[in-house]
């Protein structure tokens, strides 16, 4: 056994020296990605990781395309990921087994959140990020079940309700909550455009969590939106990049050999 190990080690070192081996950075990248799928993060940790990832990897510039079909109807039900009782649907993505908290974890709103809806999640679509439409569509069933009951009699969503929407840092964005054309519930106005541009959101890649709540001081309806990146998009992003910047953990030659042995046995 010891002789076989030494032969494998010698072969691995020879291959490594000849440049036939994967580089140490490749192993670091693979180990980092493999370990992330087993991690369970809370909202604050997920947001912090997302910021670090965006800073290191950079933002991918989205390409605006005009819809060939009616953009008013959300065509892909797989883009919807419900909150605490998450429904598994084709192509839906859960971020590190993340479950959104019942109350949005925004430090600036501590003690200011009154009655609050259950969180709603969706993967952003092209129509959510089209400048000429400027609206975020919400799941109709979720809105009717968890958001509409929070409204007062004089708050008419058919006419539209002016709301303040907060991001995870507590920054305010003015939007309008409306039952658009009596077809779909949306958050609209230039405030949503400002939000997705500042957070550099992209279709099919970013997932947003949405809460609606009543502000304890103003008694007005408000929203919180927190974005995060889907891990399903990460391999594609990395494959499309010539240079990857990932957290680096130094590996010894023995570690590399042992990992190569484990990979070959698998």
CATH number of the CATH domain containing 105: 2.40.330.10
Looking at the fold, whether 103 and 166 belong to one and the same domain comes out as yes
Looking at the fold, whether 15 and 109 belong to one and the same domain comes out as no
Buried b (16+ CB within 10 A) or exposed e, 115-144: ebbbbbbbbbbbbbbbeebbbbbbbeebbe
Residue 119 lies in a domain: yes
* Structural domain span for residue 251: 1-60+240-266
Q: How many domains is the chain built from?
A: 2
Residue 169 lies in a domain: yes
Between 234 and 66, the higher pLDDT residue = 234
- Three-state SS at 2: helix
CA distance 66 to 188: 18
Looking at the fold, whether 118 and 197 belong to one and the same domain comes out as yes
Residue 28: its pLDDT value, please? Answer: 64
CA distance 202 to 180: 23
Residue 244 lies in a domain: yes
Residue 78 lies in a domain: yes
Looking at the fold, whether 148 and 221 belong to one and the same domain comes out as yes
CA distance 178 to 82: 20
Between 23 and 96, the higher pLDDT residue = 23
Torsions phi, psi of 206, nearest 5?
Answer: -95, 145
Best-predicted range by mean pLDDT among 25-39, 181-195, 240-254?
A: 181-195
Looking at the fold, whether 37 and 87 belong to one and the same domain comes out as no
Of 81-85, 95-99, 153-157, 226-230, the least confident? 81-85
* Cα-trace Rg, the chain: 23
CA distance 105 to 247: 27
Looking at the fold, whether 36 and 113 belong to one and the same domain comes out as no
Residue 231: its pLDDT value, please? Answer: 74
Between 126 and 18, the higher pLDDT residue = 126
pLDDT over 50 (residue 191): yes
Residue 120 lies in a domain: yes
Residue 3: its pLDDT value, please? Answer: 55
Residue 235 lies in a domain: no
Looking at the fold, whether 10 and 129 belong to one and the same domain comes out as no
pLDDT band at 181 (very low <50, low <70, confident <90, very high): confident
Residue 247 lies in a domain: yes
Looking at the fold, whether 118 and 139 belong to one and the same domain comes out as yes
pLDDT band at 98 (very low <50, low <70, confident <90, very high): confident
Best-predicted range by mean pLDDT among 30-44, 57-71, 173-187?
A: 173-187
pLDDT over 50 (residue 62): no
Residue 181 lies in a domain: yes
pLDDT over 70 (residue 205): yes
Looking at the fold, whether 19 and 115 belong to one and the same domain comes out as no
Looking at the fold, whether 73 and 200 belong to one and the same domain comes out as yes
Between 79 and 117, the higher pLDDT residue = 117
- Three-state SS at 34: helix
Average pLDDT value for residue range 104-117: 97
Best-predicted range by mean pLDDT among 77-91, 188-202, 231-245?
A: 188-202
Residue 16: its pLDDT value, please? Answer: 47
pLDDT band at 114 (very low <50, low <70, confident <90, very high): very high
Looking at the fold, whether 96 and 167 belong to one and the same domain comes out as yes
CA distance 70 to 126: 12
Between 48 and 184, the higher pLDDT residue = 184
For 89-154, give the DSSP string: -TT---STT----SS---GGGTTTEEEEPPPEEEE--TGGG-TTT-EEEE-HHHIIIIIGGG--TT
Looking at the fold, whether 48 and 120 belong to one and the same domain comes out as no
């Amino acid at each position: 056994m010891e002789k076989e190990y030494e032969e494998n080690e010698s072969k691995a070192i020879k291959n490594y020296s000849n440049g036939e081996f994967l580089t140490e950075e490749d192993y670091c990248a693979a180990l980092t990605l493999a370990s992330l799928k087993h991690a369970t993060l809370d909202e604050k940790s997920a947001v912090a990781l997302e910021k670090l990832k965006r800073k290191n990897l950079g933002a991918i510039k989205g390409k605006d395309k005009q819809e060939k079909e009616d953009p008013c109807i959300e065509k892909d039900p797989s883009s919807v990921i419900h909150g605490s009782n998450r429904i598994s649907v084709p192509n839906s993505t859960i971020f590190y087994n993340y479950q959104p908290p019942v109350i949005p974890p925004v430090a600036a709103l501590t003690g200011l959140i009154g009655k609050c809806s259950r969180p709603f999640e969706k993967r952003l679509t092209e129509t959510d990020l089209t400048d000429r439409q400027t609206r975020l569509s919400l799941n109709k069933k979720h809105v009717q079940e968890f958001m509409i009951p929070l409204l007062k009699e004089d708050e008419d969503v058919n006419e539209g309700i002016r709301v303040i929407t907060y991001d995870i840092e507590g920054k305010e964005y003015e939007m309008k909550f409306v039952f658009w054309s009596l077809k779909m519930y949306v958050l609209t106005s230039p405030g949503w455009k400002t939000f997705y541009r500042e957070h550099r959101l992209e279709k099919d890649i970013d997932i947003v969590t949405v809460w609606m709540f009543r502000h304890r001081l103003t008694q007005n309806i408000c929203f919180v939106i927190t974005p995060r990146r889907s891990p399903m998009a990460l391999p594609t992003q990395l494959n499309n990049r010539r240079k990857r910047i990932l957290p680096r953990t130094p590996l010894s030659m023995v570690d590399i050999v042992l990992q190569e042995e484990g990979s070959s046995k698998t």
